[in-house]
Amino acid sequence: MSQEEKKLCCGARRFFLFKLLGLFIFLVIIILAAVIFLNNSKQSADNQKNGDKTAQNISLPTEKDIYLTFLDEIYGKIKTNYWKKITDAELTNLYRLALEKITNQPQTLLLNNQTGLDALLKKIMAEMDDSQKKEFGLNLATLVLTNLEPFGRGGLFSEKQTQELENTVQNIDPAVDLYQVLGIGREATEQQITENYQQKSQPLKNIAVDENKTAEEKQAAQEELTLLDRAYTTLKDQVNRQTYNQAGIETSVISKLISPGIFYIHLKKMSPTSFDEFQRAADAMADQPASLNTLILDLRGNIGGSVDLMQWFLGPFIGPGNLAYEFFHQEEYQPFKTQFGWLASLVRYKKVVILIDAQVQSSAEVMAAALKKYNVGVLIGGKTKGWGTIEKIFPLDNQIDPAQKYSMFLAHSLTLREDNQPIESRGVDPTININDPDWDKQLLAYFNYPELVSAVKKIWNEK
């Protein structure tokens, strides 16, 4: 065999061997792929089988879980929305104290956080039935919310309580029909309204000052007279009467011309219609002579209401775009500026007196503090109540009772007075304290207007 033939023979053998090796590798790959496929198929089947068993062992959340979920949501909403930045240790301790009061036994938290609290709650509720858990959850939530500072401001509200609060803010009293109070029909004329009011109110006024009547009789007469006044002030004005007929909203502004030089406005509450009523009262004096230059703004007894109104209410007194008030929430300040400007019918009043007392609270205190800060007028009376929290209603996503919807009522922010201190527990101090023996001389020193002093004295003594 020649050398060339030998080379060709060796090459053929190498080619055959490479081809055989390639086929072998291909077969190995096919076999491995088949093994992997079979193993995966078996694993998938096993997983499916085990999954079915697991699904049988794991139960979906039942009604007993809603009680813990309900309490957990309140915990989280307090942490986020409470006016004060509260730590887990502080909040869980508050829950612990409430639990001790409910169970009448000492309670221990293994962890001072929500996980530790949940473990304790599960332990306590373990032996309770559903009705007991519901009562327990409601009592615990109420105790915790009530005991947040300031004490008694927060709470757990049912739908009925939420609606009652809304009615109070709106100045609606579904339990009272003002037409029935005056003993008139809905088509009564203005003259009939006035005549019935005078006829019913005069005997009550006589009882209220009769020395021969008992304190109880006088008190009852005064309460009935107050109700008559509510009916009369709302129904005698056509616009206010229409608002009442349509929405049941009573008027919150009373005004009268005391003398050619003095105008009086009593702002009884901060309801959604108050600012419009206030403007109408002020505008009604627009055609009076220039000698009308003194305003007495009476805030006494004003329990507040919608604080948002202050952005509009304060504009006519301090101008547009100025700082009206601030909220303090979790160590941060939130400013609110006036959204309304000067009111032409108010510019004429160069002498302004603001009357305040211990019943002035909430947004009415915010207004008093702002008027004092901007030197709009002289505050006369007594220190306000010092109710300086802004409360809000927070609906709950997780309910403890399918037949009842609860919401959380919580102090969300603190309001500040003119010196940037919280109004809460401090109140707003008057410029002139009505209890000072020489208060009248102090007022006279401000304006040198004896008629104003006499008017304030008379108004103060009438209430």
Query: Span 193-217, mean pLDDT?
Result: 91
Query: Span 41-45, mean pLDDT?
Result: 46
Whole-structure pTM value: 0.82
Cα angle: 315, vertex 321, 325; to 5 degrees: 70
Lowest mean pLDDT among 26-30, 112-116, 168-172, 230-234: 26-30
User: According to the model, what pLDDT value does residue 463 have?
Assistant: 66
Question: Distance of alpha carbon 333 from its chain centroid, rounded?
Answer: 17
Over pLDDT 90: what percentage of the chain?
A: 81
Whether residue 327 contacts residue 411, with contact meaning beta carbons closer than 8 Å, is answered with no
Query: Span 369-385, mean pLDDT?
Result: 97
User: According to the model, what pLDDT value does residue 120 have?
Assistant: 96
Quick one: which H or E segment has residue 433?
Answer: strand 432-433
Exposure string of 386-422, with b = 16+ CB inside 10 Å and e = fewer, is: bbbbbbeebebeebbeeeeebbbbbbbbbbbbbeeee
Cβ neighbors of 194 (< 8 A, separation 6 or more) are 232, 236
Cβ neighbors of 154 (< 8 A, separation 6 or more) are 145, 146, 148, 391, 408, 409, 410, 411
Quick one: which H or E segment has residue 125?
Answer: helix 114-125
CATH 3.90.226.10 maps onto the chain at 252-389+417-463
Q: From the CB of residue 209, how many other CB atoms can be counted at a distance below 10 Å?
A: 9
Q: From the CB of residue 15, how many other CB atoms can be counted at a distance below 10 Å?
A: 10
Query: Span 383-406, mean pLDDT?
Result: 95
Count Cβ atoms within 10 A of the Cβ of residue 159 and give its class: 0-12 exposed, 13-18 middle, 19 or more buried.
exposed
For residue 5, pLDDT over 50 is answered with no
DSSP for 228-294, written as a single string: HHHHHHHHSSHHHHHHHHHH-BPP-EEEEEEETTEEEEEE--B-TTHHHHHHHHHHTTTTS-TT--E
- 53 or 110, which is more confident: 110
User: According to the model, what pLDDT value does residue 8 have?
Assistant: 32
User: According to the model, what pLDDT value does residue 320 have?
Assistant: 95
For residue 427, pLDDT over 50 is answered with yes
For residue 458, pLDDT over 70 is answered with yes
Q: pLDDT grade, residue 210 (50/70/90)?
A: confident
Cβ neighbors of 39 (< 8 A, separation 6 or more) are none
Cα–Cα distance between 297 and 81 in angstroms, integer?
35
Cα–Cα distance between 376 and 371 in angstroms, integer?
5
Strands (E), 137-218: 155-157
Cα angle: 378, vertex 382, 386; to 5 degrees: 105
Count Cβ atoms within 10 A of the Cβ of residue 310 and give its class: 0-12 exposed, 13-18 middle, 19 or more buried.
buried
Lowest mean pLDDT among 43-57, 94-108, 258-272, 434-448: 43-57
- DSSP single-letter state for residue 309: G
- 443 or 56, which is more confident: 443
Cα–Cα distance between 123 and 117 in angstroms, integer?
10
Q: From the CB of residue 288, how many other CB atoms can be counted at a distance below 10 Å?
A: 15
Query: Span 242-258, mean pLDDT?
Result: 95
For residue 163, pLDDT over 50 is answered with yes
Nearest 5°: phi and psi at 236? Answer: -75, -25
Query: Span 427-439, mean pLDDT?
Result: 97
User: According to the model, what pLDDT value does residue 54 have?
Assistant: 36
Q: From the CB of residue 242, how many other CB atoms can be counted at a distance below 10 Å?
A: 10
User: According to the model, what pLDDT value does residue 356 have?
Assistant: 98
Tens-digit pLDDT profile for residues 321-360? 999 999 999 999 999 999 999 999 999 999 999 999 999 9
Whether residue 292 contacts residue 260, with contact meaning beta carbons closer than 8 Å, is answered with yes
CATH 1.10.287.110 maps onto the chain at 172-250
Whether residue 330 contacts residue 83, with contact meaning beta carbons closer than 8 Å, is answered with yes
Closest CA to 383 of 329, 347, 428: 428
Mean pLDDT of the chain: 88
Helix, strand, coil percent values for the chain (each to nearest 5): 50, 15, 35
For residue 55, pLDDT over 90 is answered with no
Whether residue 243 contacts residue 273, with contact meaning beta carbons closer than 8 Å, is answered with yes
For residue 186, pLDDT over 50 is answered with yes
Whether residue 285 contacts residue 292, with contact meaning beta carbons closer than 8 Å, is answered with yes
Tens-digit pLDDT profile for residues 147-161? 999 999 999 999 999
End-to-end CA distance of the chain: 140
Query: Span 178-199, mean pLDDT?
Result: 95
Q: pLDDT grade, residue 34 (50/70/90)?
A: very low
State in words which class domain 172-250 has.
mainly alpha
Tell me: domain 252-389+417-463, CATH 3.30.230.10, correct?
no
